[in-house]
């Protein structure tokens, strides 16, 4: 052992304390600029852009899960010699951020309208500078290896230019238009929403049947939204419905209003729903709007932006939910209610941000014509230019992009990218690009609306690299290598990036490089340990910072990665994080053991002929695992990669190799030096393999072990096929099997772990080399050499060896026999009781199947106990 390794062992505390290690290490990485990149280098490029968190957000388990996996991908590629860029940034989160700042203003008794638009936007920027972006510091806690010097924000100058450029190009290509359409309106946020910003859930409602008209000319409709009848402009029936064919083309009086409205025939109507006749309110229902378009019906808006009734009459000024029972009461008073309210469960849209019930509303808005853009996004996957992983999620992609509706992109907010369109005094409409001067003069005004946040984040893969300028970064890192994100935003974000990337880069990128990324990797959602969705309302939500404080960031990351199977949800529980903390401690203690015993990586591993079977076995298992882990990473199988490393470290390296290494280390000499070299090499490779998932503890251990600058920039291990050694693996497998059986026997017979037992070990030669390990077997199982008076009271046989044990004095045979016989009697009694119930025909006829199955299971367990206990009794020496 060298003085250097002795000092290194002394430098490593006896106990791993994450809080003392993680913060300083991360700052050292940032200061050393390990995560920064050179766009002009000749290294192969690897790029992932972060799914930008909201500026209002804080780290939750979903973020921690996703960031752990992305960080692992990028760290591995960096170690493999790539120019690896993980580009960070944030989304300006239009609605969410405006809501936050408006709440702050409300505390002062003022509104944004009191400030005016310009002053309010200044307030938002002030809030961002003081309170926004809290998540960035939390990302550092987690260990995110992002290029902080390249951090972007969707409202920064460069990205704002990209947004204006994209809008202008789409507008000029007639892929953006302004029209009156039914949109999703949030009365709380006072803005339009796109389809993907609406969350549908089953809400209880009440279905009422209302008679329009009188006598033979009357018709009954059923609705859950009685208040919207004030805006009805028709009643629709199916053209083949015999019940109403005679009414088609006639008119009927709309109750409470006195208006005459037509009865029209439309194939959209379901004759089986309700009465088979539906009220048509084109200004407040998307299906009704479509019927209205087909039949040239007028659209009457009867609610304002706050969802209060605007129709003249007794309901004017009422909130929609106040007006609903009031309208029903008025109809009842006129005798128009044919069927009283009955419960009805139906799908209702809610604003994804504030959870307010969305109101369909006819409104003048800006839209993207997604037809050709969505077609291109679908084709890129169909022809293989972009891979979706796992592939079984491809149908969900096609189901969306092949049926996408035009995208409403205007929002009635002040915070965001203002639509670059000016209106002139004589009806002129001018779209202005980023390098153009807007029109000036009296009467010219800019559009008041801002763009949907997803518009700017849809440019993220290329705008963050400098587009529309042709920068070195764009040339180097576009297309991105991988987009790794949750399957739940496949449509929110991924589809928009695909559409915009293919459109924007068709002229700005070489052929075949217009796609925004080569691979779309999709992970699932984090759930609790019982598989239930995490939610504050369920009481099972977890703040990942609490677990990082308690167990360390590595422990949380390891747990998350260990549950990450492509495209499927990942359960997680605190006990599992505690177990991962124990794994980190195990790795720490194993490295300390190696250092204390002089392990080194300064010396090359000796040639094969100088290695013991245990050394050869360890190297064979190590390099086989390197190959496995590489294959798993290439297939985004994080759980399998992490599980393979867990078992290699804990089950093979710590539980077996370190124990097998103790004897040669104790003997000293050349044999010990060889073991030290293998110990050092194995730990060097293990720590590198583990680094992408648990970066902090591996950095501390690796730099202490090797004296190297940083594991962050250390080379990734390469599998060495020459280390494969089937003979050594067979030998050590036989040793493991034999040791495990002896330990099981000792436990079954109640022999105290500290008690030494004399034994004779005889190898029959069927496992070559097994006899050489007899001393190691004895050391691992507390067996001693037989002496005079040895009596073989018990015999064990395993492949290649027979072990005879002298248990005299090791246990009280009479007491042990009495205990086992008592247990045997209890097990047999359990079988008898089960047999009695299972033989009772009356019981079998009446008992539920789960109860019967439970009794059968108890019988099977008891039968197994009988076999086990009888074997233990047979193994006892004679009294």
Q: Which residues define the annotated binding site for ATP? A: 536
Q: What is the DSSP letter of 448?
A: S
CA torsion sign for 592, 597, 602, 607 is negative
Calpha distance 748→870 (Å, rounded): 11
Closest to 805 measured CA to CA, from 850, 852, 742: 742
Calpha distance 870→333 (Å, rounded): 85
Closest to 496 measured CA to CA, from 407, 433, 415: 407
At 720 the three-state DSSP class reads coil
Calpha distance 857→664 (Å, rounded): 49
Ranges of H-type helices in 749-848: 774-781, 813-838, 841-846
CA triple 69-130-189, angle to 5 deg: 80
Longest dimension (CA), the chain: 117
Up-side HSE of residue 141: CA atoms within 13 Å toward CB? 21
Sequential DSSP letters for 505-533: TTTTS-TT--SSEEEEEEE--EEETTSPB
Task: Please report, in range form, the residues annotated as the binding site.
Answer: 536
CA dihedral 206, 212, 218, 224 (to 10 degrees): -20
H or E, element range at 681: helix 669-690
Closest to 135 measured CA to CA, from 159, 156, 153, 160: 153
At 544 the three-state DSSP class reads helix
Calpha distance 727→739 (Å, rounded): 18
| Other beta carbons less than 10 A from residue 345's beta carbon | 9
Question: Are the beta carbons of 749 and 872 closer than 8 angstroms?
Answer: yes
Question: Are the beta carbons of 600 and 683 closer than 8 angstroms?
Answer: no
What crossing angle do the helices spanning 553-562 and 544-551 adopt, rounded to 10°?
120
Q: Report residue 487 as tokens.
A: 């399957």
At 361 the three-state DSSP class reads strand
3-state helix, strand, coil in the chain (%, to 5): 50, 20, 35
Q: Report residue 752 as tokens.
A: 């105290």
Up-side HSE of residue 562: CA atoms within 13 Å toward CB? 20
Question: Are the beta carbons of 697 and 62 closer than 8 angstroms?
Answer: no
Q: What is the DSSP letter of 751?
A: -
Calpha distance 332→252 (Å, rounded): 18
What crossing angle do the helices spanning 613-634 and 638-647 adopt, rounded to 10°?
170
Closest to 2 measured CA to CA, from 644, 405, 848, 596: 596
Report how far Cα 458 is from the mean position of its chain's Cα atoms.
20
Ranges of H-type helices in 505-612: 544-551, 553-562, 574-596
Question: Are the beta carbons of 337 and 212 closer than 8 angstroms?
Answer: no
Distances 161 to 177, 437, 458, 467 between C-alpha atoms, Å? 20, 13, 14, 9
Sequential DSSP letters for 99-163: HHHHHHHHHTT--HHHH-HHHHHHHHHHHHHHTTTHHHHHHHHHT----GGG-EETTSHHHHHHH
Calpha distance 103→116 (Å, rounded): 16
Which residues are bridge partners to 758 per DSSP? 784, 806
């Amino acid at each position: 052992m060298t003085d250097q390794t002795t000092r290194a062992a002394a430098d490593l505390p006896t106990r791993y304390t994450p809080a003392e290690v993680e913060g300083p290490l991360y700052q050292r990485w940032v200061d050393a600029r390990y995560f920064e990149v050179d766009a002009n280098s000749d290294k192969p490029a690897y790029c992932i852009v972060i799914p930008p968190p909201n500026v209002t957000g804080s780290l939750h388990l979903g973020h921690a899960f996703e960031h752990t996996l992305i960080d692992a991908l990028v760290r591995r590629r960096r170690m493999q010699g790539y120019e690896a860029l993980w580009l960070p940034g944030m989304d300006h989160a239009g609605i969410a951020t405006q809501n936050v700042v408006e709440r702050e203003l409300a505390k002062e008794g003022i509104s944004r309208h009191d400030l005016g638009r310009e002053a309010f936007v200044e307030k938002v920027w002030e809030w961002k500078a003081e309170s926004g972006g809290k998540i960035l510091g939390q990302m550092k806690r987690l260990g995110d290896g992002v290029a902080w010097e390249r951090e972007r924000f969707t409202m920064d100058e460069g990205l704002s230019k990209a947004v204006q450029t994209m809008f202008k190009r789409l507008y000029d290509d007639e892929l953006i238009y302004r029209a009156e359409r039914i949109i999703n309106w949030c009365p709380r946020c006072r803005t339009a929403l796109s389809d993907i910003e609406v969350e549908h859930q089953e809400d209880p409602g009440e279905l009422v049947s209302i008679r329009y008209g009188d006598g033979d000319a009357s018709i009954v409709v059923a609705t859950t939204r009685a208040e919207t009848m004030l805006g009805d402009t028709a009643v629709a029936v199916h053209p083949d419905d015999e019940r109403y064919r005679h009414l088609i083309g006639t008119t009927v009086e709309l109750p409470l209003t006195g208006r005459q409205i037509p009865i029209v025939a439309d194939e959209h109507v379901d004759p089986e729903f309700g009465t088979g006749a539906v009220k048509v309110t084109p200004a407040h229902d998307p299906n009704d709007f479509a019927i209205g378009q087909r039949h040239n019906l007028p659209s009457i808006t009867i609610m304002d932006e706050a969802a209060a009734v605007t129709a003249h009459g007794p309901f004017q000024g009422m909130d929609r939910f106040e007006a609903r029972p009031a309208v029903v009461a008025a109809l009842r008073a006129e005798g128009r209610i044919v069927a009283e309210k009955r419960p009805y469960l139906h799908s209702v849209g809610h604003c994804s941000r504030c959870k307010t019930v969305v109101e369909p509303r006819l409104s003048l808005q800006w839209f993207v014509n997604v037809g050709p853009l969505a077609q291109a996004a679908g084709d890129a996957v169909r022809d293989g230019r972009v891979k979706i992983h796992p592939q079984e999620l491809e149908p969900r992609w096609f189901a969306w992009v092949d049926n996408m509706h035009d995208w409403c992109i205007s929002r009635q907010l002040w915070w965001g990218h203002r639509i670059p369109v000016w209106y002139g005094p004589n009806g002129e409409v001018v779209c202005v690009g980023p390098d153009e001067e807007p029109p000036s003069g009296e009467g010219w005004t800019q559009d008041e609306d801002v763009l949907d946040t997803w518009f700017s984040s849809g440019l993220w893969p290329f705008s963050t690299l400098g587009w529309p300028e042709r920068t070195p970064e764009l040339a180097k890192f576009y297309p991105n290598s991988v987009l790794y994100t949750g399957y739940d935003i496949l449509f929110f974000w991924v589809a928009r990036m695909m559409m915009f990337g293919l459109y924007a880069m068709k002229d700005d990128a070489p052929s075949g490089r217009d796609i925004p990324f080569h691979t779309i990797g999709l992970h699932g959602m984090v759930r609790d340990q019982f598989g239930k969705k995490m939610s504050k309302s369920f009481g099972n939500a977890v703040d990942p910072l609490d677990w990082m404080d308690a167990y360390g960031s590595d422990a949380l990351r390891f747990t998350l990665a260990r549950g990450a199977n492509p495209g499927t949800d990942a359960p997680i529980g605190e006990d599992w994080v505690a177990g991962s903390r124990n794994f980190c401690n195990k790795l720490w203690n194993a490295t300390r053991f190696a250092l204390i015993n002089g392990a080194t990586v300064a010396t090359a591993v000796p040639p094969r002929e100088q290695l013991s079977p245990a050394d050869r076995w360890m190297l064979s298992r190590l390099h086989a695992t390197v190959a496995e882990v590489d294959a798993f990473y290439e297939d985004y199988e994080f759980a399998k990669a992490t599980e393979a490393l867990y078992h290699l470290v804990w089950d093979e390296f710590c539980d077996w190799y370190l124990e097998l290494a103790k004897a040669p280390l104790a003997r000293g000499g050349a044999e010990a030096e060889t073991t030290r070299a293998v110990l050092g090499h194995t730990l060097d490779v293990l720590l590198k393999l583990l680094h992408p998932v648990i970066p902090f503890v591996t950095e501390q251990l690796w730099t202490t072990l090797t004296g190297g600058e940083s594991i962050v920039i250390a080379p990734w291990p390469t599998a060495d096929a020459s280390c494969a050694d089937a003979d050594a693996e067979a030998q050590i497998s036989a040793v493991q099997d034999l040791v495990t059986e002896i330990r099981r026997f000792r436990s079954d017979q109640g022999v105290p772990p500290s008690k030494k037992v004399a034994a004779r070990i005889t190898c029959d030669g069927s496992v070559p080399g097994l006899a050489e390990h007899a001393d190691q077997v004895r050391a691992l199982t507390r067996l001693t050499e037989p002496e005079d008076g040895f009596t073989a009271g018990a015999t064990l046989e395993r492949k290649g060896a027979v072990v005879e044990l002298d248990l005299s004095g090791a246990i009280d045979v009479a007491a042990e026999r009495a205990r086992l016989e008592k247990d045997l009697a209890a097990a047999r009694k359990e079988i008898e009781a089960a047999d009695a119930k299972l033989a009772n025909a009356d019981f079998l006829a009446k008992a539920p199947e789960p109860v019967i199955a439970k009794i059968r299971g108890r019988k099977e367990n008891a039968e197994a106990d009988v076999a086990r206990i009888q074997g233990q009794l047979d193994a006892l020496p004679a009294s």
